[in-house]
Amino acid sequence: MMRPEAEEFNCVKDIFEACTDVLEVGCGEHAYLAEFLATICANVTAIDSSEEAISRARACLDHVPNVRLMRVDATDWTDVLPGGSFDAVVLYRALHFLADVPAFLSEARRLLKRPGGRLIVMNSPLFDLTSDRVGVHVFRDFCSDVFSAQLESYWTPNVAQNFATYCDPTRPRLVNLLSEESPGPILKTFRHTTEVPLIDIRSEVLRATVASQFLEAAGEESFDREILRLQERILILHGFDITDLLFENLVLTKTVTFHVEIHTLN
């Protein structure tokens, strides 16, 4: 049974249904996308530069036989990944964190099958919570100096520049990242919605890696204080007293929006 975080990718299922062999770059410690891809693709390879992330991902996916997890260094994978091996190379919230994006793109061209191999770049903002009365951007409102510093530590000038150049769906000039002579990328937007009781919001927020990192940095007491503050704010926006038993009955809609770029190799 898939974890709920992996199920959120069901809305992008059509993109991968024709793929047999897929490589995910930067799978992270949870490997949610790899878990999802394993339900529709015969062979999934998921790589990350962190040994700790791969070790944790193995523990999460030990029940998934068609996912191969590997730790790799840099972006020269000639010795471990043969050329022309993959129908798709996919990155989820990862491309802009690579130290050398041009080197990665060269490696992606080597790894993809010709013609028709696809580089799929997926990004999504941190999720929103809404009801018929209010909308709350969780990670803007779930905020403190420590949490803000945690976010900023990852958004370095190099990361920001990479995002503006290669990932921002609103950037003015969109070119095929695999070849400027090829047609431009196909852009798609997908949304996944689920219902979340407000009383369960702590576990929902913790599913985001950056929230887990905040918990580690600030401690459980500080994290719970921030969660309580968020819950109280949402209750007040709904016109409830924070001691009202309706707290247990208030249900919000969680919306995750995926921005997807598909670059095809001729």
**Residue 264: pLDDT above 90?**
yes
Q: What is the mean pLDDT of the chain?
A: 87
The sign of the CA dihedral 154, 99, 5, 69 is negative
Among 184-188, 194-198, 226-230, the least confident range: 226-230
Query: What pLDDT sits at residue 216?
Result: 79
8-14 average pLDDT score: 92
**Strand 88-92 to strand 21-25: parallel, antiparallel, or no bridges (unpaired)?**
parallel
d(CA 246, CA 263): 48
Nearest Cα to 205, choosing from 160, 142, 122? Answer: 142
Which of the four pLDDT bands, split at 50, 70 and 90, describes residue 143? low
Residue predicted with more confidence, 241 or 202: 202
Q: Residue 5 in 3-state DSSP?
A: helix
Which of the four pLDDT bands, split at 50, 70 and 90, describes residue 146? low
Residue 190 has phi, psi (to 5 degrees) of: -130, 150
d(CA 132, CA 130): 7
First to last CA, the chain: 37
Query: What pLDDT sits at residue 201?
Result: 85
Query: What pLDDT sits at residue 227?
Result: 86
Residue predicted with more confidence, 51 or 228: 51
Nearest Cα to 109, choosing from 92, 86, 125? Answer: 86
d(CA 13, CA 16): 6
- Taking the CA of residue 216 as centre, how many other CA atoms within 13 Å lie in the half-sphere pointing to its CB? 7
- Asked if residues 36 and 10 have their Cβ atoms less than 8 Å apart, the reply is yes
Among 89-103, 216-230, 245-259, the least confident range: 245-259
* CATH number of the domain within which 89 lies: 3.40.50.150
8-22 average pLDDT score: 94
Q: Quickly count: other Cβ atoms within 10 Å of residue 248's Cβ.
A: 9
Number of domains in the chain: 1
Among 108-112, 136-140, 208-212, the least confident range: 136-140
d(CA 61, CA 32): 9
d(CA 246, CA 244): 5
**Residue 215: pLDDT above 90?**
no
Q: What is the pLDDT of residues 58-81, one digit of tens each?
A: 999 999 999 999 999 866 788 899
Residue predicted with more confidence, 125 or 24: 24
Q: Quickly count: other Cβ atoms within 10 Å of residue 240's Cβ.
A: 16
Which residues are within 8 A (CB) of 82 and not within 5 positions of it... i.e. 6 or more apart?
none
- Domain hosting 74: range is 4-264
- Taking the CA of residue 123 as centre, how many other CA atoms within 13 Å lie in the half-sphere pointing to its CB? 14
**Residue 154: pLDDT above 80?**
no
